[in-house]
Structure 1
Amino acid sequence: MTVAEATPEIDIDAIEHPSDRAFLGHPKGLGYLAFVEGCERFSYYSMQTLLVLYMVNYLLLPQHAGGVIGLDWVKSVYGLDGQPLASRIFGDYTALVYLTPIAGGLIADRWLGRRATLIAGGLIMALGHFLMAFEGSFLFALLALIVGVGLFKGNIASQVGELYKPDDIRRAMAFQIFYIAINVSVIVAPLIAGTLGEKVSWHWGFGTAGIVMVLGLVLYIMAGPWLPKDNRPSKAAGATKPSEPLSRQDWLRIAAVVILVPVLAISLLTNQEIFNAYLVWADQHFQLTFFGTTIPTSWMISIDAGMSFSMLVAVTAFYAWYGRKRREPDELGKMIIGSFFTIGGGLCLVMAAATQGDGKIGLMWPILFHLFNSIGFAHILPVSLALFSRLAPARLNATIIGIYYLAFFAANYIVGTVGGWYSSMPTTSFWLFHVATAAVGLVAFLLFKLFLAKRLMGGEPVSA
């Protein structure tokens, strides 16, 4: 029996609002938000899957690069070309889409409210995807996507937490369901948009992402009655809220957020490299031909997403079973466990590079990498997002969720630079570097748990 079931106040609320448990025992709004986020992530991961391959194999080739508006200026700024330039552009793009959610959260919290901000972001994202159909507008398309994701992303994740009362233990499970929807999209996006892009036309892949984004936006507008009350400030609220100071506990929670961001960034480097130099490595050196048919390189992302989805479900089920017998690890405990698996996954890539020889790399070591890395993912990301949502002061919820994505900004920015080393660095050393960053994340999580968690969070972290 859950706490929500055992508390009379919650039971009364559930009777008054039957939709509170209409979706797998959760509010109906969670189903809508998960599906809308799935559409947005389909569009995003279609871009993430195709972007480096598109640049390396097509756009940055001499016969095409000349038609891209502003590309010569970008080359002069970076002083790069070819694969290193593709990694740098990809890294900056994927970093900035995780920086702009802070601005999107501020816009929603202070002026427009979440819904208007999110809808504007979805429209701008769709425009960016459709601009990818034209080679000349490539950089403008990336700019539109950066702005659109910033307005969209934090403002949908923050609504998940607000579907629940502060003491409702379903909150952490809700974020795991939310991540499952994301992982389904990551599985499907390479199979549909990736295959269309590599086998039919790059622009077909990007266009499909735009269409799915529009469908998600329409669904979000239709789902309005089942979503949390919008946070658009009224004139009266605007006159009083800015003068209300944050409490000491609020500042302690913000301090915890600020400390956790760089730790998360370091722990994410190996995972984020999957979409950058890893795809180039797979395209050049993996054995992807079976029975005379070569599968698209982008399908490696589907393999990773399939593993992530399976391990997310498996880890959730394991701790549901484990929690009935023993005390379940807290959030930081799970993050520490996840870091060990991330290190193990990175070592699989080291082994793949070290044992390659003169032929192609078989998929045994890459599959093991995706397995271990996905177990690490299941222990770190959903739990950390739930933790940030819990730490967020009520009137800064969307802003704090935006700050959470600074970890992805930092990780992707670093990966943009590190990915460029792939062309000039021994492959074994390249992946050993990633193993070392995972080890740094492990040590940082451990130190945070031992010395800072109680002081900054006012007690033991909330169990997820």
Structure 2
Amino acid sequence: MATRQVRSDLFGHPRGLTVLATTEMWERFSFYGMQALLMLYMTKYLLLPEHARNVLGLGQFRAFLASLFGPMSDIAFASQTFGIYSGLLYGTPLLGAWLGDRVLGKTRTVAAGCVLMAAGHILMASEHFFLVALSCIVLGAGGVIGNMAAQVGLLYAPDDHRRTRAFGVYLITLNIGALAAPLAIGTIGEKVGWHYGFNVAGFGMLIGLVTYLAGRRHLPPDRITQREEREKLGHSERRRVLAILFLLIPYTLYGAAALQAYGIMFVWADTAVDRVVLGWEVPVTWIGIVDGVLTILGVVVANRIWIALATRGREPSDFAKVAIGYFGVAAAFVLAAASALLPLVPVLLWIAFFLVLDLAYGWTEPPIQSLVSRDSPPSVNAMMMAMLKATSMLSYFLLGWLGRFYEPLGAPLYWLMDAGIALGALVMLIVFRRPVMHLLEPEHDPPAQVSRA
């Protein structure tokens, strides 16, 4: 697909990357603020009997989950709810991608998604609408996540080697939002009032919407593929889609392990980590500030290493980069398991865990996004990017289910279990390498046939 030629203004990249990355920064500001507060909010406030009885539909929802998974403690129920909510955030982009590709176009779909997400965060001002608010956020995220990531890829020609680094810039910028969220949303939520924190998240989404609409002239032009224009995938295109689906299997396990750092770990750290500095107990959500800084550092370090190796013709493939990232996640949770054996974990040791984890992210997320964006057939590009995001849905569902083992196993064994899951993802990736590379080898197809309804 031809790309619009625009001037560069951000590290040698098109202006549209600035617009998309800034919008995503505010979306992530809201997302990570919600993520930082949600488990603490449920376990320390919402699920207390005097509050739980006021939540519309909560009793029925808990009874439904119990019918599927059996009786749950409050922590297990909170983990399951966190996993379902977070998972659906990454599942609805499949619907959003269909709307973006076939019905509304990516720009309108993203704008509508921002409005719904803002409304959901504002509804969190009342615990009565807790489940309604989560539903609005989930539906809104469906319009935003996959379509914006696809627009990043569409700024570049297929053979433009800036694409991987563009996703690195995109990741850095969104992590500025992740860095600011605990400082603003987390502090206000923990120290002033939970509901005030959620409203700050809604305000951030409104800023993101204004940013996106103001810069839409710099975005790739929308092309809505009508049903009668839909091209059948050729043989080599189907092979590429199959290869990507293979890669998403270990990526699911990797996510289920890595994302534990933002769920039950907050509940664990609330009592297990010594957070007193100069006589003042630092809010547990502030670890998100450190996480944001270290994630940016991880991407910068990885990019510098890749550039240095590229000058010598030795830059590893995206496949190899992802494998290194999976190993790093396993190492991080081994460190967490060892730390959990201490009576009280020094905060510096907890920060060291996030340092290892975030260095691993730098080797995993930009390469996997670049690979999917580059190797997906143009006619299903947004859909395949949404599939990548939807993989996190399965990761979060698995994460939520695994939460029931936290109390029986105890923290050290639970974190060691996460390390084993990450290592399992690495082994699976190695096993899949040869068939995936074979499927990605180019083949010549006859001209694609156009299906007419």
Q: TM-score, normalised by structure 1?
A: 0.91
1:352 pairs with 2:335: no
Structure-2 change in CA distance of 1:293 and 1:458 (3 Å): same
What secondary structure, in the 3-state scheme, does the structure 2 residue paired with 1:165 have? coil
Q: Distance in 2 between matches of 1:220 and 1:104?
A: 17
- % of aligned pairs identical? 33
Q: Does the aligned pair in 1 maintain the 2:30–2:181 contact within 8 Å?
A: yes
1:135 equivalent in alignment to 2:127: yes
Please tell me the residue identity of whatever aligns with 1:131. Answer: L
| Partners of 1:370 and 1:127 in 2: CA distance | 32
Q: Which aligned runs of 4 or more in structure 1 are off by greater than 3 angstroms?
A: none
- Residues 145, 389 of structure 2: 8 Å contact kept: no
What CA distance in whole angstroms lies between the structure 2 residues aligned with 1:41 and 1:108? 20
Residue 449 of structure 2 aligns with which residue?
none
Kindly indicate whether the alpha-carbon contact (under 8 Å) linking 1:339 and 1:439 is maintained by their aligned counterparts in 2: yes
Q: Tell me the residue number matched to 1:24.
A: 11
Asked whether 1:168 is paired with 2:160, we answer yes
1:229 equivalent to 2:221? Answer: yes
1:97 to 85, 89, 101: 89
Number of the residue aligned with 2:76 = 84
Match of 1:381 among 322, 347, 365: 365
1:168-208 CA distance string (max 9 Å, x none): 11111111100001111111101110001001111111001
Gapped regions of structure 2 (runs ≥ 5): 67-71, 443-453
2:240 & 2:7 partners in 1: Cα distance? Answer: 28
Tell me, in whole angstroms, the C-alpha distance in 2 between the residues paired with 1:238 and 1:270: 39
**Superposed CA RMSD:** 1.5
* Counterpart pick for 1:195 among 175, 184, 187: 187
Q: CA deviation at 1:29?
A: 0.7
Distance in 2 (alpha carbons) for counterparts of 1:258 and 1:149:
22
**Counterparts of 1:420 and 1:94, CA distance in 2:** 17
State the 1:81 CA deviation.
4.1
The match for 2:351 is 367
Equivalent residue number for residue 436 of structure 2: 453
Summarize deviations over 1:344-368 as a string: whole Å, max 9, x none.
11110111112x13xx211233222
What's the counterpart of residue 4 of structure 1? none
Q: Which runs of 5+ in 1 are unaligned?
A: 1-9, 460-464
TM-score, reference length from structure 2: 0.93
Counterpart of 1:179 in structure 2 is 171
The aligned counterpart of 2:113 is 121
Is the aligned partner of 1:321 residue 2:313? no
Q: What's the CA shift for 1:150?
A: 0.7
> Among residues 237, 243, 257, which one is paired with 2:244 in the alignment?
257
Deviations 1:280-319 (Å, cap 9, x if unpaired)? Answer: 0000111011111011000112222221111111111122
Give, in whole Å, the separation in 2 of the partners of 1:130 and 1:414.
28
Deviates more, 1:361-370 or 1:405-414: 361-370
> Offset at 1:25?
0.8
Aligned amino acid, residue 438 of structure 2 = R
Conserved? CA contact 2:268–2:411, under 8 Å: no
Residues 150, 373 of structure 2: 8 Å contact kept: yes
Bigger shift: residues 265-274 or 172-181: 265-274
Q: Structure 1 residue 331 and structure 2 residue 323: aligned?
A: no
Does the aligned pair in 2 maintain the 1:262–1:410 contact within 8 Å?
no
- Partner SS for 2:262: coil
Q: What residue is the counterpart of 2:423 in the other structure?
A: 439
Output the CA distance in 1 between the equivalents of 2:102 and 2:310.
Answer: 41
CA distance in 2, matches of 1:258, 1:280: 34
1:303 and 1:24 map into 2 onto residues whose CA distance is 24
* CA–CA separation in structure 1 for the residues paired with 2:159 and 2:375: 13
2:396 matched residue in structure 1: 412
1:291 maps to 2:278: yes
